[in-house]
Amino acid sequence: MPWLTQLFTKNPELAVYLALGLGYAIGNLKFRGFSLGGATGSLLAGILIGALVKVPVAAMAKSVVFLLFMFGIGYSVGPKFFKAMKGQGWRFGVLGAFVPVVGLVTAWVVASVLKLDLGFAGGLVSGALTESPAIGTASEAIQALTNIPDETKQKLISHVAVADALCYVFGAFGVIYVCGTLGPKLLGIDLRAEAEKVEADYGVVRTKAGTVGQTWSTFYDPDSFPDTLDFEGPGVLPVVRQPELRYTLPLIKQKMYAAVAIEQPKSDLSNLPEGADGRNTMPDFAGNWRWEGKPGHIQVGGILRSLSYDNNAGPDDSAMGWGLNVSGGLKTFGSDSLVATLSYGDGIGRYIQDLPSGSAGVVDALGDLHLLRAWGAMLGYRHQWSEKWRSTVSYGYVQLDSSSEQGDFAYDQTHYAQANLIWAPTKNFYVGLEYLYGRKEAQNGNSGDDHRVQLSLQYKLVR
């Protein structure tokens, strides 16, 4: 293809961008749950382009791009490296020294037996160990040789990249197989049990149907959260994460579940008498019923909480608050989906995230505790314009029956609306633009609104 050779010779950057584009496309292809990833895909795409068209790339460009690659690795791994070296981190240091030595010795033996030249041997080390920085080390070592002509040097350096790309595939899948299947069998390790130990170290303990640790409240349905760039989302959602003990009972396998939990309580009262403190006499009791199927899911949650205060200088009082949350998701047309939430309760307070502290109940002048009624609703719709473009619009409303004891500017109601456009060229990267509107009204009729435009970018370093 002379015309393509001429085009890439004049504009070599086009070949680089083409290799990156094809590489990410190849890397995202999945086979039985595995994918090569962007790095390996780009290597294979580069080999394909190089086999079809001779593309001259300046040595300086190679060095600069490679150094940027090295900088990216160091920048992302650096903070974790120093944290990992604390405590038992020395074990990882020993492993980090042992693996390269074994890999280098193995590559030397294989290269000697198969009579591979220096370039193929260097690529064997970098590819089999999936350590692309070794490409630069091997290339610089070959370039520094004084007993061979420059033409031979360039040939050997090109062999480094070829061998790296080919061995990288087997190196990546080999690690998965050894670490996930062969290694545990040889060492007699139960991976599931070890994973549960790690969860326990982070405060989460799971049994066949139970959970102990800090996680989302059983009252909350995370799957009903609309696809917003705004982290908090609509104000009615009960986005509460706290320590709890939960038991989940499967009623119909993979379709219907019921869960009950005891969760950490928190005082949520306002207008307390001087010297009085909120009191937690028992945990919050939460539960839900959930059905899942092809059309979507529906969940009904409930919360029961004891609200009281203690006053050493006068009377005290207590009451039992409650709340209901009905939520769900529905697949509509193509890849579109609809989510909705409705919450209602007396003393529900902090289980509606938009309500301020002290919204569960108020103490009057006589010392009597009155629970405050609150309710709210949310509706969100996500439309998939194409494989890489999507949008979400949502609206939320919250209303609180505040007491005159809280003053004229006490919370009455809020409105929330948003619309966004998100571009996700890969599974671990997206850019989005979102418009947000909010309005708040007080008990005395005063109100205010605000507008916000948010630009967000996210790249997941770990999939």
Over residues 370-386, the pLDDT tens digits come to 999 999 999 999 999 99
Task: Give the model's pLDDT for residue 300.
Answer: 97
Task: Give the model's pLDDT for residue 31.
Answer: 62
Phi/psi region, residue 233 (left: phi>0; alpha: psi -120 to 50; beta: rest), is left
- Distance in angstroms (rounded) separating the CA atoms of residues 144 and 296: 63
Contacts of 108 (CB under 8 A, 6+ apart): 121
**Residue that has been written with the tokens 């839900």 in this structure:** 288
Strand order in the sheet with 369-371: 269-270, 361-363, 369-371
410 within 8 A of 442, measured Cβ to Cβ: yes
Confidence of residue 222 (pLDDT cuts 50, 70, 90): very high
Which structure tokens are listed for 183?
Answer: 């290694």
Most confident of 66-70, 176-180, 326-330: 326-330
Over residues 280-310, the pLDDT tens digits come to 889 999 999 999 999 999 999 999 999 999 8
Which structure tokens are listed for 410?
Answer: 């006490």
Which structure tokens are listed for 459?
Answer: 């790249």
How far is residue 371 CA from its own chain's centroid?
Answer: 37
- Distance in angstroms (rounded) separating the CA atoms of residues 263 and 218: 9
Task: Give the model's pLDDT for residue 446.
Answer: 93
297 within 8 A of 223, measured Cβ to Cβ: yes
Task: Give the model's pLDDT for residue 9.
Answer: 72
User: By C-alpha distance, which of 384, 294, 388 is closest to 337?
Assistant: 384
Task: Give the model's pLDDT for residue 303.
Answer: 96
**pTM summary value:** 0.57
193 within 8 A of 186, measured Cβ to Cβ: no
Give the sign of the dihedral formed by CA 227, CA 228, CA 234, CA 238. positive
- Distance in angstroms (rounded) separating the CA atoms of residues 433 and 83: 34
Confidence of residue 448 (pLDDT cuts 50, 70, 90): very high
**Domain boundaries, given as residue ranges, for the chain:** 207-459
Mean of the pLDDT values across residues 222-226?
94
Beta bridge partners of 259: 248, 288
How far is residue 419 CA from its own chain's centroid?
Answer: 22
Q: How would you classify the pairing of strands 361-363 and 269-270?
A: parallel
Tell me the CATH architecture of domain 207-459: Beta Barrel (2.40)
Contacts of 242 (CB under 8 A, 6+ apart): 214, 217, 263, 264, 266
